[in-house]
Amino acid sequence: MTERFDAIVIGAGHNGLVCATLLAKARKRVLVLEANEQVGGAAVTRDFAEGFSVSTCAHLLYQLQPAVSKELGIEPRLAANDLATIALDTSGQHVRLAGDDVSGVGGADRTSYREFRKRMTRFADLLNGHLNAAPPRLGTSDRKDIFKLAKLGFDIRRLGREEMQEFLRLIGMNIYDELDERFESDLLKGALALDAVLGTHLGPRSPNTLMTYLYRLAGNHGRLSVPEGGMGDLTGMLAQAARTAGATVRVAKPVRRIVVNNGRVTGVETEDGESFESLTVISNADPKRTVLELVGARHVETGFAQRINRLRASGNAAKLHLALEGLPAIKGLEDADYGQRLVIAPDEHYVERAFNPAKYGEYSPEPVAEITFPSVHDPSLAPDGKHVLSATLQYTPYSLRSGWDGGARTAFLERVMKTLALYMPDLEGQIVARELLTPVDIEREFHITGGHWHHVELSLDQFMFVRPVSGAAQYAMPLDGLYLCGAGTHPGGGVSGAPGRNAARTILSREKSR
Minimum distance, C-beta of residue 255 to other proteins, in the bound complex (Å):
17
Q: Which is nearer to other proteins, 256 or 434 (CB)?
A: 256
Q: Which is nearer to other proteins, 405 or 461 (CB)?
A: 461
Minimum distance, C-beta of residue 491 to other proteins, in the bound complex (Å):
16
Burial (Cβ within 10 Å: 0-12, 13-18, ≥19) of residue 175: buried
Q: Which is nearer to other proteins, 277 or 435 (CB)?
A: 277
Minimum distance, C-beta of residue 138 to other proteins, in the bound complex (Å):
5
The answer to whether the beta carbons of residues 33 and 11 sit under 8 Å apart is yes
Q: Which is nearer to other proteins, 46 or 114 (CB)?
A: 114
Given the DSSP bridges, would you call strands 317-324 and 431-437 parallel, antiparallel or unpaired?
antiparallel
The answer to whether the beta carbons of residues 356 and 281 sit under 8 Å apart is no
The answer to whether the beta carbons of residues 251 and 36 sit under 8 Å apart is yes
Minimum distance, C-beta of residue 178 to other proteins, in the bound complex (Å):
9
What are 219-223's contacts with CB under 8 Å, separation 24+?
219/62, 219/63, 219/64, 219/65, 219/66, 219/128, 219/131, 219/496, 219/498, 220/62, 220/63, 220/64, 220/66, 221/121, 221/124, 222/62, 222/124, 222/195, 223/62, 223/81, 223/82, 223/99
Minimum distance, C-beta of residue 226 to other proteins, in the bound complex (Å):
33
Q: Which is nearer to other proteins, 359 or 444 (CB)?
A: 359
Q: Which is nearer to other proteins, 196 or 330 (CB)?
A: 196
**Binding-site ranges for other proteins (CB under 8 A):** 137-140, 157, 161-162, 164-166, 168-173, 177, 181, 202, 205-208, 260-264, 292, 296-306, 309-310, 312, 352-353, 356, 359-360, 459-463, 465-466, 470-471, 478
Euclidean distance between CA atoms 511 and 28, whole angstroms: 11
Minimum distance, C-beta of residue 90 to other proteins, in the bound complex (Å):
21
Euclidean distance between CA atoms 445 and 253, whole angstroms: 14
Q: Torsions phi, psi of 129, nearest 5?
A: -60, -25
Minimum distance, C-beta of residue 445 to other proteins, in the bound complex (Å):
25
At position 1, the amino acid (one-letter code) is M
Transcribe 29-92 into DSSP letters. Answer: -EEEE-SSSSSBTTS-EEEEETTEEEESS---B----HHHHHHHT----EEEEEE-EEE--TTS
Q: Which is nearer to other proteins, 146 or 251 (CB)?
A: 146
Q: Which is nearer to other proteins, 386 or 490 (CB)?
A: 490
The answer to whether the beta carbons of residues 286 and 487 sit under 8 Å apart is yes
Rounded to the nearest 5 degrees, what angle is found at the Cα of 512, between the Cα atoms of 511 and 514?
65
Q: Which is nearer to other proteins, 362 or 435 (CB)?
A: 362
Minimum distance, C-beta of residue 239 to other proteins, in the bound complex (Å):
33
Minimum distance, C-beta of residue 6 to other proteins, in the bound complex (Å):
23
Minimum distance, C-beta of residue 397 to other proteins, in the bound complex (Å):
13
Q: Which is nearer to other proteins, 84 or 171 (CB)?
A: 171
Minimum distance, C-beta of residue 356 to other proteins, in the bound complex (Å):
5
Euclidean distance between CA atoms 453 and 476, whole angstroms: 22
Q: Torsions phi, psi of 100, nearest 5?
A: -90, 5
Given the DSSP bridges, would you call strands 85-87 and 341-344 parallel, antiparallel or unpaired?
parallel
What are 94-99's contacts with CB under 8 Å, separation 24+?
94/187, 94/332, 94/333, 95/185, 95/187, 95/188, 95/191, 96/337, 96/340, 97/188, 97/191, 99/223
Q: Which is nearer to other proteins, 202 or 226 (CB)?
A: 202
